[in-house]
Structure 1
Amino acid sequence: MNGRDRREQSSPLLFVVCWCEFPGSERMSRLPAIVSSEGYVPGVNEPEQMICQYLHLTNSMGCSWSGCDVSAFSVPLLILQLCIIFFVSQAFFYLLKPLRQSILSCQLIGCMVFIWFIRLDKHLLNQLFPESGKLVLSTVANFGYMLHVFVVGVQIDTGILRTVHRHMVLMGCMSFLVPYAVCVMLLMPLPKLIQMDEVTLHTIPFVVALTSMTTFPAVTSTLSDLNLLNSDLGRLSCSTALVTDFCSWITALALSTIGVALERQDWKPLKNVFWIVCFLISMCFVLRPFVLWMAKRIPEGQDIKESQFLVVLVTVLLCGFLSECLGQNASFGGFTMGICVPDGPPFGSAIVNRVDWMATTILVPAKFAISAFKVNLKSLGGDEVFAALITEAFITLAYMAKFISNFVLALYFSVPLQDAFHFSMIMCTKGIIDVSAFSLIRSNEVVTDQAYSLLILNMLLVTGSTRILLWHFYDPSTRYQTYKRNSILESEPTDFFRMVVCIHNDENVTSIINLLEVSNPTRHQRMEVTTMSLHPLEGRASAILVPISEVEKIPSAQNRVLQMGKAFYYFMERNHNSINVEHFVAMAPYGSMHEDVITIAINKCANIVIVPFHKRWAIDGSVEAAFPGIRSVNLKIMEKAPCSIGILVDRGQIGGPNSVLTRRTKVFRITQLFLGGADDREALAYSSRIVQHHHISLLLVILQPKQTDVEMAPEMHEKRMDHEIIDRFRMECKGRDVYIQQEAAKDAQETMHLLREMEKGCDLFIVGREHGYAYSQLTYALSEWSQCPELGRIGDLLATSEFKFSVLVVQQQPMERIQSGRVSSARIVNDSGRLSSARF
């Protein structure tokens, strides 16, 4: 081996900066042609790389006007590098977005491609990324990574560990130990069978250990991007990944400490373990109570103070410093500090919002650029191709053993086949913490360039393919199908009337309670109501779905939820023996919030789900605010719910001065428009319950077309069902304050005129969403002004500011959500980690 080869394989590779003083007075006029130089010098053990750079070349101070190269100065060069890395990362994220790749994978791929491209031009490479500039860029990148890991720690709900069930602990531990043990056992007899070099034999155990890891942030990032965070699969994966992450860290700490002790034949490194344990204990019992005390001092509804934010940020820096003193990476201290900060609003979410955008968007891509520089594709070929094949075989074997062990254990614990397959795929995904671990062991010369490159490439392949397959083939809505229609119309009069109602803010409480009162709960027509307080996921990595009895797990929403619960508790006490109310709290992204609602609807066998409209009206009747996130939730519930849906457009009549609760002695006036079709029949079935209330007056308007086209057989069947439900309604409502009015119209204009006449003397208007083909001529023209198609043509018109009454739009469960001839079993992972089955 020649001298150059020895220098290229020198280990460790150290950057030694040699500062050369240059007179400041002559700095601008006598800039040298060469601002830095590098070379190899004899080191203590092996050759080391030395970089010499002039001391004052930090800020350019406008020397570009004198013909100086600005990129020769460290500050302008750093700014230029960060800008280039940012634009390259965002460009690749935009290009790979159709493939559902994560922003972190796109950043790494973009940096690898860009660096490969500029390496073709040595001069361009030295201009943009000289060796002297890499030291500064690496320092900034590590600082940004520490802040990013701190944010990750803030978003982790430590309460998950208290609720993880035993089978999840077993699955999490086996997810790391099985692939590691399998590969190590196969490696032991391998040198006797084939000839292997010592470097590859030493590298493979570390490669296998890194492949066997599953980090919690990588799993939550994948689930969040695919809107699976609060699905059954997501809850199982998050809990298991947290256990696997904890298990792998403990194993890595023990093996590294013991390995150093055996290598040096000195057990002093074991003292580090003792001090690390002391550090963790002090964080748990000293620092965390202090941070919780600061969080409790924030008044409800107010944001975190600047002084509190600065205290937390400085503490992060101190924890990083102490972590370095203990022999760990600074990110370890940042992560443990993040665990001490309470997640969610107002404290955790405020810190995440202030730190995350800078750390993750600007500084973390620099970490990937540094990691991309270490990828050496040339090391995979040439004379080292056999070693590369052996290393790749063990990486593939580790992934396969990890997948199979997770798959078998999931099946053993009664996870459905499809969910077990996708769960095993998710547990094989990697993220930024894995990349950082790869880069760290490469910097410490634990693994070779060849092994490091294979780890990065396999990570991108496995994680990228997993995201694509999950996006294309995993549909959690398949478990929502039932073998019969769950609706009000199909339920027996003696059955419990089961409702699930959604609450997004305090303003929904009064209207929902009064709608429940309108629904007429009695001893003969008992109701089971499940209320769900829905909150967007802020400052957290995992979703939450808990009953109100466990609301202490969500300190940020505890006061609001308890107040809502008290309101429904008083309502239940007032209607004793006629209604039972359960209250749940859910925190999830708007993209997957419908999963929690549908999960509860399945478990409770609900007949109807009531959701509030996404617009809020002002006193003068105009739209005060609109919430697109709530609208997206309503659309997905209407598309996938296993029962009927009702969208409540509340303008104050339900919860205002005309409410049933505040005006017991006066009549609450309801109007229903009936054109025909499944949705109108479902709405009429709901009205049949309402009219039993002593203070309800209902006007049923049956609207028919004056001229009809040639009727087809399916329409004849629909008409027959319409006549049957109307006749049954007449019989059930005898002696009640009910008026039935027959009307006819020829087009949408006459329909609109009729609706305006109904506005007089109406507090609540009930209508179905769709009305069938025979009545399309009465509503078709209304779609030209449609703004909210989820309300239907008539419901959308009634929700405009031209009308002043509240509206309830009802949709019966679509037939495509019903299976034929078989029972569907929906598996639920509850918050205690147990698998439960809801059968319909």
Structure 2
Amino acid sequence: MSRLPAIVSSEGYVPGVNEPEQMICQYLHMTNSMGCSWFGCDVSAFSVPLLTLQLSLIFIVSQTFFYLLKPLRQSILSCQLIGCFVFIWLVRLDNHVLNQLFPESGKLVLDTVANFGYMLHVFVVGVQIDTNILKSVHRHMVLMGCMSFVVPYAVCVMCLMPLPNLVQMDEVTLHTIPFVVALTSMTTFPAVTSTLSDLNLLNSDLGRLSCSTALVTDFCSWITALALTTIGVALERQEWKPLKNVLLIICFLISMCYIIRPFVLWMAKRIPEGQDIKESQFLVVLLTVLVCGVLTECLGQNASFGGFMMGVCVPDGPPFGSAIVNRVDWIATTILVPAKFAISAFKVNLKSLGGDKVFAALITEAFITLAYLAKFTSNFVLAMYFSVPVQDAFHFSMIMCTKGIIDVSAFSLIRSNEVVTDQAYSLLILNMLLVTGSTRLLLWHFYDPSTRYKTYKRNSVLECEPGDFLRMVVCIHNEDNVPSIINLLEASNPTRHQRIEAITMNLHPLEGRASAILIPISEVEKIPSAQHRVLQTGKAFYYFMERNHESVAVEHFVAMAPYGSMHEDIVTIAINKCANIIIVPFHKCWAIDGTIEATFPGIRSVNLKIMEKAPCSIGILVDRGQIGGPNSVLARRTKVFRITQLFLGGADDREALAYSSRMAQRHHISLLLVVLKPKYTDVEMAPEMHEKRMDREIIDRFRMECKGRDVYIQQEEAKDVVETVHLLRAMEKGCDLFIVGREHGYAYSKLTYGLQEWSQCPELGRIGDLLATSEFKFSVLVVQQQPMERLESGRVSSSRFVNEH
């Protein structure tokens, strides 16, 4: 192997278009080291080893800071920027280490890779955007979105105009401030959705309002930036006419809408249901992204703009959009995007804020602060004007001031083009970190969307009058839930005098899209990936309603949201429909032989949050086949469907008995009520008088309502939990559905003491969790009455603005 030269690259300055520019020369063969470290060569002098080393270090630093700042609820992007900023600052303390890790020649390669990764990331962002959200944006939100950008920009420009006459300012600062103000006035849609998603607020009322408004603001900012940059480039290169450049970009956009998007939709429709996209389809999309990047560069725009437009053309959600996001997002966002932040951190120069430039820095900071304040105030005033509650208006204004990776890229791009100074760029980055970081922390601490779940009165089956609709919100996660839910509704005895209104919710996890969806089934075409399943489910409930046309009314909704905030949609519908009970499926699925076939942790997290925050009663249905299988209520037109209810006492058992009372009045249903009491009652553990009175009254009412029906009441006593378990096992024979309350009060803890030590699913209660084990074969319905803490008097719902508009 020939001896390598001691000098691997050289740099200098050459005449440029406007001023001298830096030029770097490097040997052609300095790409792969090929094991030259064995001969005493510096491996970091070669492009590939140096790039892999840089990406590894940046990844480790960014993930470390994400772990350290996680308690402060900072986003991964903010942590990456902070980590890279601190890392670069430490590296700069030693010039030798700086030149070894980040030589000028290495920065060029890293910058190129970072920009490619950023283009892929922006492509993924475009895929996740639901273009249908523009159709649902109300004119009030359009006004709020436009004013969110226009007001702060106009206020700052008006304040800047008389400033040169009042104080002495240099021309550079005067030229920089309008661009700084424009960048500060921006609100990008991905930054808002990222903040809302990380804080589980994406499908809250505040989240929906913020997403719609941010999309309008982002569109307004992009139009302004496109006009300014296009005209600016055209005027700088006088051989180009501004109108020609704008027309070419418009033609590019039209071709994307009417040629590329229909072609991609055609490919998506060719995917068989339940299958993933083909490798050839993925490669075609990726190749088109690269071609779009080249075209936008030729049109004077950044390559990321072409990637973003191609992403918008790809249908969001499964199977097409989510598959592409899953393949591209990890490598782009986790590995390559941090390199973009490292390049941005290199451009931050804290020394430019001091010295003889302090006054200019103070002026620039004053305008940045003024832009943030004007933006916050305009959003707050407009939100209050359109009847958004004060607390939500305050938090909405904070969210609209957050920024993300697209903002950082805009800062970096405008700095590279020398439109703004190092000083202004550094202030923009520092203010962004401060405002966005504090906003996320304050929202996490002080905003609680569950406060609007409180109701004026208790909503429960027990409080439902005989002539009123029993309003039931039923949740469906997959097709297997449909038969059991329909049969449970059938068993609830819908008649002309005891009518039922069922509100079905088809629940889908959020995949491959940025914004949550809550729509009626009539608008299901907005979710092509879920259309088939939703329509099939709708047909099943339509036939059920036709069979009970005078006693059942059914409404269908489709919700797509992250599991972390899916309960928001369920609770919102329950509030708006004044539901008496919410029925949710258990998170475990049983096979034919009685073993657990599948477990869904996401569904369990939804159930837990519903039980904690629901504005009405809740029922968790553990289906083992008796409800929706061959032994169901519908299948037993001539046979008896057997239900057992265990009653110990307490609010939950009373609610369960009220529901059982409705079932017992249906033909072909046999109900056994087992009233279990302790043999020996301690004085300290005796139930309060009003609890005993309410238990006695509900049992007497049950006797009256079910008189003449196939109902049996059995009194039992037990001295401890062992006898309770023996009693439950004796009930297994001759039982298709077992109904029990979740909690039974302190007075009955002796009969269930010790069960919690073996509990795997506390949401079912002590007895419900025992009945859900593999030892028992019947289906179980665990009922919880609306908790007292969910009641409140004299409060206006904070969802009024979103519901009205």
Report the TM range for the smaller structure's normalisation. Answer: over 0.9
Please give the alpha-carbon distance, in whole angstroms, between the structure 1 residues aligned to 2:12 and 2:262: 51
**Which of residues 394, 417, 421 in structure 2 aligns to 1:444?**
417
For residues 741-779 of structure 1, what are the alpha-carbon distances to aligned partners after superposition, in whole Å with 9 as ceiling and x for unaligned? 000000000000000000010000000000011110000
Please give the alpha-carbon distance, in whole angstroms, between the structure 2 residues aligned to 1:822 and 1:247: 40
**Which of residues 215, 226, 237 in structure 2 aligns to 1:242?**
215
Please give the alpha-carbon distance, in whole angstroms, between the structure 2 residues aligned to 1:633 and 1:410: 30
1:384 lines up with 2:353 in the alignment: no
**Which of residues 318, 333, 344 in structure 1 aligns to 2:317?**
344
Corresponding residue of 1:620:
593
For residues 381-415 of structure 1, what are the alpha-carbon distances to aligned partners after superposition, in whole Å with 9 as ceiling and x for unaligned? 00000000000000000000000000000011111
Please give the alpha-carbon distance, in whole angstroms, between the structure 1 residues aligned to 2:106 and 2:123: 26
1:188 lines up with 2:157 in the alignment: no
1:502 lines up with 2:475 in the alignment: yes
1:809 lines up with 2:782 in the alignment: yes
Please give the alpha-carbon distance, in whole angstroms, between the structure 1 residues aligned to 2:15 and 2:294: 31
Please give the alpha-carbon distance, in whole angstroms, between the structure 2 residues aligned to 1:781 and 1:280: 67
Query: Are 1:235 and 1:829, in contact at CA under 8 Å, matched by a contact in 2?
Result: no
1:206 lines up with 2:175 in the alignment: no
Instruction: Count how many residue pairs are aligned between Structure 1 and Structure 2.
Output: 805
Corresponding residue of 1:784:
757
Relative distance call for 1:670 and 1:44 in structure 2 (3 A) is closer
Corresponding residue of 2:794:
822
Corresponding residue of 2:499:
526
Corresponding residue of 1:304:
277
**Which of residues 591, 598, 602 in structure 1 aligns to 2:564?**
591
1:322 lines up with 2:291 in the alignment: no
Corresponding residue of 1:23:
none
**Which of residues 653, 664, 680 in structure 2 aligns to 1:707?**
680
Aligned-residue offset at 1:31: 1.1
- How does 1:215-230 map onto structure 2 within 5 Å? 215-230=188-203
Corresponding residue of 2:64:
91
Please give the alpha-carbon distance, in whole angstroms, between the structure 2 residues aligned to 1:439 and 1:342: 30
Query: Are 1:715 and 1:773, in contact at CA under 8 Å, matched by a contact in 2?
Result: no
Relative distance call for 1:634 and 1:829 in structure 2 (3 A) is farther
Corresponding residue of 1:666:
639
- How does 1:306-455 map onto structure 2 within 5 Å? 306-455=279-428
TM-score by length of 2: 0.99
Structure 1, unpaired ranges of 5+: 1-27
TM-score by length of 1: 0.95
Aligned-residue offset at 1:716: 2.0
Aligned-residue offset at 1:822: 1.7
Aligned residue for 1:736, secondary structure, equals coil
Corresponding residue of 1:835:
804
Please give the alpha-carbon distance, in whole angstroms, between the structure 2 residues aligned to 1:776 and 1:635: 22
Corresponding residue of 1:517:
490
Aligned residue for 2:554, secondary structure, equals strand
Query: 1:351 is matched by which residue type in structure 2?
Result: I
Corresponding residue of 2:709:
736
Aligned-residue offset at 1:781: 1.4
Aligned-residue offset at 1:255: 2.4
Query: Are 1:599 and 1:828, in contact at CA under 8 Å, matched by a contact in 2?
Result: no
Query: What's the % identity of the aligned pairs?
Result: 88
Please give the alpha-carbon distance, in whole angstroms, between the structure 1 residues aligned to 2:122 and 2:332: 9
Query: 2:767 is matched by which residue type in structure 1?
Result: I
Query: Are 1:57 and 1:74, in contact at CA under 8 Å, matched by a contact in 2?
Result: yes
Query: Are 1:677 and 1:770, in contact at CA under 8 Å, matched by a contact in 2?
Result: yes
Please give the alpha-carbon distance, in whole angstroms, between the structure 2 residues aligned to 1:646 and 1:215: 41
- How does 1:271-286 map onto structure 2 within 5 Å? 271-286=244-259
Relative distance call for 1:805 and 1:45 in structure 2 (3 A) is closer
**Which of residues 542, 551, 554 in structure 1 aligns to 2:515?**
542
Please give the alpha-carbon distance, in whole angstroms, between the structure 1 residues aligned to 2:669 and 2:133: 48
Query: Are 2:685 and 2:747, in contact at CA under 8 Å, matched by a contact in 1?
Result: no
**Which of residues 485, 490, 515 in structure 1 aligns to 2:463?**
490
Aligned residue for 2:12, secondary structure, equals strand
1:639 lines up with 2:612 in the alignment: yes
1:102 lines up with 2:79 in the alignment: no
Query: Are 2:144 and 2:382, in contact at CA under 8 Å, matched by a contact in 1?
Result: yes
Query: Are 1:551 and 1:561, in contact at CA under 8 Å, matched by a contact in 2?
Result: yes
Query: 1:835 is matched by which residue type in structure 2?
Result: E
Query: 1:822 is matched by which residue type in structure 2?
Result: G
Please give the alpha-carbon distance, in whole angstroms, between the structure 1 residues aligned to 2:90 and 2:343: 15
Query: 2:69 is matched by which residue type in structure 1?
Result: L
Query: 1:76 is matched by which residue type in structure 2?
Result: P
Query: Are 1:157 and 1:540, in contact at CA under 8 Å, matched by a contact in 2?
Result: yes
**Which of residues 116, 124, 131 in structure 1 aligns to 2:104?**
131
Corresponding residue of 1:7:
none
Aligned-residue offset at 1:246: 0.4
Please give the alpha-carbon distance, in whole angstroms, between the structure 2 residues aligned to 1:43 and 1:717: 89
Task: Give the alignment's Cα RMSD to 1 decimal.
Answer: 1.2
Please give the alpha-carbon distance, in whole angstroms, between the structure 1 residues aligned to 2:795 and 2:128: 39
Query: 2:154 is matched by which residue type in structure 1?
Result: A
Please give the alpha-carbon distance, in whole angstroms, between the structure 2 residues aligned to 1:143 and 1:44: 26
Please give the alpha-carbon distance, in whole angstroms, between the structure 2 residues aligned to 1:96 and 1:260: 41
Please give the alpha-carbon distance, in whole angstroms, between the structure 2 residues aligned to 1:44 and 1:223: 44
For residues 706-747 of structure 1, what are the alpha-carbon distances to aligned partners after superposition, in whole Å with 9 as ceiling and x for unaligned? 011115786222111101111111111110110000000000
Aligned-residue offset at 1:262: 5.6
Corresponding residue of 2:652:
679
- How does 1:547-566 map onto structure 2 within 5 Å? 547-566=520-539
Please give the alpha-carbon distance, in whole angstroms, between the structure 2 residues aligned to 1:317 and 1:397: 40
Aligned-residue offset at 1:577: 1.0
Aligned-residue offset at 1:256: 2.8
Query: Are 1:102 and 1:222, in contact at CA under 8 Å, matched by a contact in 2?
Result: yes
1:795 lines up with 2:768 in the alignment: yes
